[in-house]
Amino acid sequence: MSSNSITNESDTFEIGDSTVHRLGFGAMRITGEDIIGSPEDEETAREVIQHAVDCGVDLIDTADSYGPAVSERLIGEAIGDPDDVLVATKAGLLRNSEGDWIAHGDPDYIRNQVLTSLDRLRTDTIDLYQFHRPDGDTDFEDSVATFAELKDEGFVDGVGVSNVSAELLDQAREQVEVETVQNRYNLNDRGSREVLEICDDEGIGFIPWAPINGDDLAEHGDLLDEIADDHDATRRQVALAWLLERSDVMLPIPGTSDTEHLESNVAASQLALREEDVQRLTNAAE
């Protein structure tokens, strides 16, 4: 594939009143090691974000817990709050210096976090606010109710949920219009197949996290290599192109801290897989 003029050629999806290209960018990797603290070079991190937007990426995913705070701050510094970019953030996880991710869906905490996210993202309204992960110590209903209230109060435009089962998605949808679901899903891990089907049927955006399996595509590697060779592409590009073909509601957010990797990922949107390629990849683990 040509490396000239990298533009996001993925088609679009409506999230609330916004139209975004389906291939987005995950901003978890622009932080320090183990997603704690600042990256070695903050200027490079800001350049990666800016370059994503320059390539036509208009869906950026982040969370208050990435850093914590660092990813959101760098996004705010790099691009501010442009009208034509949807920044999706999340709340509901605490961090500590050991790198643990601790579910915390307490309503008072979420209400505190939205204020800090608004400040770091340099905006008056969060475009898409996602509940990061159900918390065993707080009723899911109470956490979701808080997100719904924040929408009613104008702090957030749209609400999403993440790491949910089909049952919890149903429950959330009784309380608020769910714009997106963000669950782990990739060529190797199809555990969220049922949730994806619901999203597909209902026109809810499905944001597959770890779309290239955290860069481990060894499983089905031979098949990926064969298809990649035919298209003069890479394994990762084929894995991303397959996701885009898998469903019209699929919104992959490959995460990277590197400008060249970003360009390569965006270029996956220009890859036209043959129907038989898609089928073989789909059949590989369904």
Ligand X SMILES: NC(=O)c1ccc[n+]([C@@H]2O[C@H](COP(=O)([O-])OP(=O)(O)OC[C@H]3O[C@@H](n4cnc5c(N)ncnc54)[C@H](OP(=O)(O)O)[C@@H]3O)[C@@H](O)[C@H]2O)c1
**Residue numbers annotated as active site:** 66
Contact predicate 24/207, CB 8 Å: yes
Q: Which is nearer to ligand X, 56 or 214 (CB)?
A: 214
Contact predicate 196/206, CB 8 Å: yes
Question: How far apart are CB 52 and ligand X at their closest, in Å?
Answer: 11
Question: How far apart are CB 182 and ligand X at their closest, in Å?
Answer: 5
Q: Which is nearer to ligand X, 150 or 243 (CB)?
A: 243
Q: Report the interface residues with ligand X, using CB under 6 A.
A: 26-29, 61, 162-163, 182, 209-215, 236, 253-258, 261, 264-265
Beta bridge partners of 183: 208
Q: Which is nearer to ligand X, 120 or 236 (CB)?
A: 236
Name residue 48's amino acid.
Answer: V
Q: Which is nearer to ligand X, 152 or 260 (CB)?
A: 260
State the Cα angle at 266 between 264 and 272, rounded to 5°.
95
Rounded to whole angstroms, the Cα distance separating 228 from 50 reads 28
Question: How far apart are CB 61 and ligand X at their closest, in Å?
Answer: 4
Per-residue HEC secondary structure of 111-169 comes to: HHHHHHHHHHCCCCCEEEEEECCCCCCCCHHHHHHHHHHHHHCCCEEEEEEECCCHHHH
- 83 CB neighbour count, 10 Å cutoff: 7
Q: Which helix (H) or strand (E) holds 175?
A: helix 166-175
CA–chain centroid gap for 142, Å, is: 24
- The phi and psi torsions of 43 (rounded to 5 degrees) equal -65, -40
Question: How far apart are CB 113 and ligand X at their closest, in Å?
Answer: 15
Kindly report the length of the chain. Answer: 286
Q: Which is nearer to ligand X, 86 or 152 (CB)?
A: 86
